[in-house]
Amino acid sequence: MGRLPMPKSEELYEFYVTQGKAISALSLHYGVSKTTISHWLERAGVRPRKRGKRPLRPEHSILFDLYITQSLSTYEIATKLGVTASTIGKWLAAAGIKARAAGWPRPGPGWHGRPGWAKKKKGRTDRSTTPP
């Protein structure tokens, strides 16, 4: 059958830049792979759009304060900084901050920052014991 001819550069520019269509949408439109669309855009001289900006890793002192001094979990830090907990784990490792053991006791209300974890609820007096 052969290759599908590359569309005119103006057409690619119109769809990708002016209309803001995604490479995946162009791929479906032309019936070719996303890689082919990327090659066509490159040959047409159309620069690819930048993906969303990656968040900058905070300084060591900030990570140290949040994780060690304040004893926040990676999830809590992630929520504060708008990233995932795994990203926080990677940032801590890159900063040379060792991960705490699972279940590490923390100061503050309840276990792992969950208020009321040890309070009486529905007939149970202490959740650290095995349920009846």
pLDDT tens per residue across span 89-132: 999 999 999 988 776 665 555 444 444 444 444 555 544 444 44
Residue 35 lies in domain: 9-43
66 and 39 co-located in one domain: no
Confidence of residue 1 (pLDDT cuts 50, 70, 90): low
Rounded-to-integer distance, Cα 89 and Cα 95, Å: 10
38 and 67 co-located in one domain: no
Q: Is residue 114 part of a domain?
A: no
Neighbouring CB atoms inside 10 A of 66's CB total 21
Q: Is residue 51 part of a domain?
A: no
Q: Is residue 88 part of a domain?
A: yes
Q: Is residue 50 part of a domain?
A: no
Kindly write down the DSSP assignment for every residue of 30-86, as one continuous string. Answer: HTS-HHHHHHHHHHTTPPPPPPPPPPPPPPHHHHHIIIIIS---HHHHHHHHTS-HH
- Which residues on neighbouring strands pair with residue 121, listed in sequence order? 124
pTM over 0.85: no
Number of domains observed in the structure of the chain: 2
3-class secondary-structure state, position 28: helix
66 and 100 co-located in one domain: yes
The amino acid sitting at 69 is: T
70 and 98 co-located in one domain: yes
64 and 100 co-located in one domain: yes
Q: Is residue 71 part of a domain?
A: yes
pLDDT tens per residue across span 67-90: 999 989 898 998 888 788 899 999
